[in-house]
Chain A
Amino acid sequence: MRLDHVSTILKREYLTRVKSRGFWIATLVLPVAMAAIVVLPSVIAMKSRGSLRLAVVDELGGVAADLERRLAAPPAAPADGAEALAAGSSPDQRSAISIEAVELTADATALRAELDRRVLAGEVDAWIWISAAGLERDEVEYHAESVSNFMTQERLERALSRAVAQRRLEREGFDVERVTRLVRGVELETVRISETGSRKEAGLAGFFLAYFLFFLLYTVVAIYGQQVMNGVLEEKSSRIVEVLISTVRPSELMVGKLAGIGLAGLTQLGIWMVTMLALSTPGVLGAMMVAGGRLPTVSAGLVVHFLLLFLLGFFLFSSLYATVGAATNNAQEAQQFAGIVVPFLVAPVFFMVPVINDPDSTLSVVASLVPPFTPLLMMLRIAVKTPPAWQILLGYLLTAGFVAGLVWVCARIYRVGILMYGKKPTFGELWRWLRHA
């Protein structure tokens, strides 16, 4: 194998991709989409919190005032249980709820009609009626034109519950302060242990990170594998392959092609990973916290594993895709043949839930050491809980060995297929090409 040949092919494959507009659109869209997924919900929540002007009819007296005090209370850190009982939901989701206490009149029906009129006229947004009878059934009526602003309603409900609870406690002669202190809840503080040291991490965020990396890896391996297949098909159908093969060996062409496209993929993933690393630094994280979400932390080690596993997965599947492209004559035929490759790519998805739930189970360990599954499942295990070093190493070695053998086999079929035109080959013919090439 001549390296100058391989590098000529590699350079063309890499540059034509990296120079294309589509590459950069895709490269930029993902980080923007990631940022949007993290930031947008809180932005939308902030924008949509609006204000709720609430008319309150308080038959019992005192509850309305307590409610107003609770709704106006300054936001508390969500981790503080005692304060949380007083405050309600987290600060960014708070709507401004203004209370207008309405005097109870003798004619309740007329008052209700009047309140409805005021809502329809837009003077208030909603009204509630706190009645002794209602509280017997643990109910407070809420009347509004729109009853779908559930975040605001939930907050109102909580504040109301606490105001009512306080009132009931007082009635029964309890020390409200003391009871509040005694019933405050606890929160799980999740700490992820790994060989490089423990760090605090939100459990849910780590789970999402594992999911995200798994599907990102799956997607890029699939997309770049398809690109290899289409590239081979293009060379074959445009017949330029004959000029190429007259100066470079088919194996050089295939390896250069895989390396060039793989490098383009690595460039794209590298940009994404660096972006994620940058977003994970404490300063940026802090800034994002303000916007509301808790981001999972991404370590450099995780990024390196991700990129290495991408390369293994890419070479594994794209050598198969290259062979499919070489053995067939057009996109339809290629898609039919690619149907044989796809199950191996998709199978890890079925192991996802068991592996996330118990990354050290025999099933998880064995499945993650089966070469076609290793890139995706080992990625998942590393993201969830760092597996023993020997398992990671074994996974890498087995897959690398498998990839080497596969590239060798595929190159032989590729060599024959690339110059074969006409009918779609049968498996028997593929086998013959493999033996005689």
Chain B
Amino acid sequence: MSGINLEVRGVRKAYDGHVAVDDVSFAVPAGAVYGLLGQNGAGKTTTIRMIMDILAPDRGEVHLFGRARRAEDSRRIGYLPEERGLYRKMTVTDHLLFLAELHGLPARVARPRVDSWLERVELAAWAKTKVEALSKGMQQKIQLVGTVLHEPEVLILDEPFSGLDPINQGLFKEMIADFKRAGRTILFSTHILEQAEKLCDSICLIAKGRVILSGELATIKRERGGDLFEIRFDQPSAPALDGVPGVLSATPHDGAVRLLLAPEARPAEVVAALVAGGARVASFRTLEPDLESIFLQAVRDAA
């Protein structure tokens, strides 16, 4: 597989005068693990709901598999909403078969898959149990299995790790890795940037309903690198850094200080200015930026 599997083109959605998503565009390459990042309320869920055709965009369109989205495309997607639930009165097997049938999978095909998945997530003994009798962690497993039973080509997960217990987080990461190995495409949203950094190939950062940064994570880091430095001082407390020309932000970190410099600033001049001001600089080096600082800077740039 190659090319673009999922593309969002200039979508906009407003509720009662409040614009939740404004002109959002991004493209998810086939086989990628793609992170849709942003704080709560940034517009991630609205964007995903438009991809899932749950909400109709006011403007713009969604393309899947290289063409405009069709209603039946839903069957090729595995979707895990942020808010999750199951029918409490159904047995585990019946529920999974129902979810499979919703995606066009007949019971005769789905049944062996249900059995083997239940085996894999160690819930085979609960197959005939009603959902309401299961623990929360077990229900989460059922939801995960229900998302992938029909072997979707694209997985769309809205805040997949929120509320998951550690065991299920591990299971989930394993499943994402399996999917990636099988060459399938995964789009997931999160507000936890460390997670995205570990899992994603590409990202799209959204703030206040607008895209502020998108692309391959490695490229972004390379391009955004060079502005972030770590400085250590050979003195009990760091001197005031905020007023120094060229310094955008200074955050204490692990005994040192992280400096974000303005793109036009020259690092040597900043250090020279500090030394001239009486600071005793022990070390100064460039840092590979983490997603969080990229995010913060991008938000600042956009403002």
Q: Name A residues whose Cβ lies closer than 8 Å to a Cβ of B.
A: 4-5, 8, 11-12, 15-16, 20, 234-235, 237-240, 242-249, 419
**Complex interface: chain B residues within 8 A of A8 (CB):** 98, 101-102
Chain B residue with the shortest CB-CB distance to A9: B102
A16 and B83 within 8 A (CB) = no
Residue picked from A20, A234, A247, most chain B C-beta under 10 Å: A247
Report the minimum CB–CB distance from A250 to chain B (whole Å).
Answer: 9
A238 and B85 within 8 A (CB) = yes
Interface residues of B in 44-77 (CB under 8 A from A): 49, 52-55, 71, 74-75, 77
**Complex interface: chain A residues within 8 A of B104 (CB):** 4
**Complex interface: chain B residues within 8 A of A246 (CB):** 52-54, 74, 77, 79, 81
Chain A residue with the shortest CB-CB distance to B131: A238
Docked complex Cα distance between A11 and B90 (Å):
13
**Complex interface: chain B residues within 8 A of A244 (CB):** 102
B128 within 8 A of A: no
Docked complex Cα distance between A246 and B86 (Å):
15
Chain A residue with the shortest CB-CB distance to B85: A238
Contact of B102 among A20, A247, A419 (CB under 8 A): A247
Report the minimum CB–CB distance from B74 to chain A (whole Å).
Answer: 5
Q: Please report the total number of B residues contacting A with Cβ < 8 Å.
A: 27
**Complex interface: chain B residues within 8 A of A243 (CB):** 79, 81, 99, 102, 146
**Complex interface: chain A residues within 8 A of B74 (CB):** 246-247
B79 and A240 within 8 A (CB) = no
B12 within 8 A of A: no
B87 and A247 within 8 A (CB) = no
Residue picked from B55, B86, B101, B146, most chain A C-beta under 10 Å: B101
A239 and B85 within 8 A (CB) = yes
Known A-B contacts A242-B83, A243-B81; the reply to A248 vs B102 at CB < 8 A is yes
Known A-B contacts A246-B54, A419-B54; the reply to A240 vs B85 at CB < 8 A is yes
Report the minimum CB–CB distance from B193 to chain A (whole Å).
Answer: 25
Interface string of B96-109 (1 = CB under 8 A from A): 00110111100000
Report the minimum CB–CB distance from B52 to chain A (whole Å).
Answer: 4
Docked complex Cα distance between A235 and B84 (Å):
10
Docked complex Cα distance between A240 and B75 (Å):
17
Known A-B contacts A8-B98, A8-B102, A239-B81; the reply to A245 vs B54 at CB < 8 A is yes
B266 within 8 A of A: no
Other A-B contacts than A16-B94, A243-B79, A246-B52, 5 sampled, CB-CB below 8 A, are A8-B101, A16-B89, A246-B54, A419-B49, A419-B54
Chain A residue with the shortest CB-CB distance to B53: A246
B173 within 8 A of A: no
Docked complex Cα distance between A419 and B89 (Å):
22
A16 and B90 within 8 A (CB) = yes
B54 and A238 within 8 A (CB) = no
Docked complex Cα distance between A419 and B103 (Å):
20
B88 within 8 A of A: yes
Report the minimum CB–CB distance from A179 to chain B (whole Å).
Answer: 73
Docked complex Cα distance between A5 and B84 (Å):
21
Docked complex Cα distance between A234 and B88 (Å):
9
**Complex interface: chain B residues within 8 A of A248 (CB):** 102
Contact of A240 among B49, B71, B87 (CB under 8 A): B87
CB-defined A-B contacts under 8 Å, sample of 10: A8-B98, A12-B90, A12-B98, A238-B87, A240-B87, A243-B81, A244-B102, A245-B54, A246-B74, A419-B49
Report the minimum CB–CB distance from A29 to chain B (whole Å).
Answer: 21
Report the minimum CB–CB distance from A405 to chain B (whole Å).
Answer: 24
Report the minimum CB–CB distance from B58 to chain A (whole Å).
Answer: 11
**Complex interface: chain A residues within 8 A of B87 (CB):** 12, 16, 234-235, 238, 240
Docked complex Cα distance between A99 and B87 (Å):
71
Docked complex Cα distance between A129 and B178 (Å):
102
Report the minimum CB–CB distance from B102 to chain A (whole Å).
Answer: 5
**Complex interface: chain A residues within 8 A of B86 (CB):** 238, 240
Chain A residue with the shortest CB-CB distance to B83: A239
**Complex interface: chain B residues within 8 A of A234 (CB):** 87-88
Residue picked from A4, A11, A15, A240, most chain B C-beta under 10 Å: A240
**Complex interface: chain A residues within 8 A of B53 (CB):** 246
B52 and A239 within 8 A (CB) = no
Docked complex Cα distance between A240 and B147 (Å):
12
**Complex interface: chain B residues within 8 A of A5 (CB):** 102
Chain A residue with the shortest CB-CB distance to B72: A2
B88 and A242 within 8 A (CB) = no
Contact of A239 among B84, B89, B103, B146 (CB under 8 A): B84
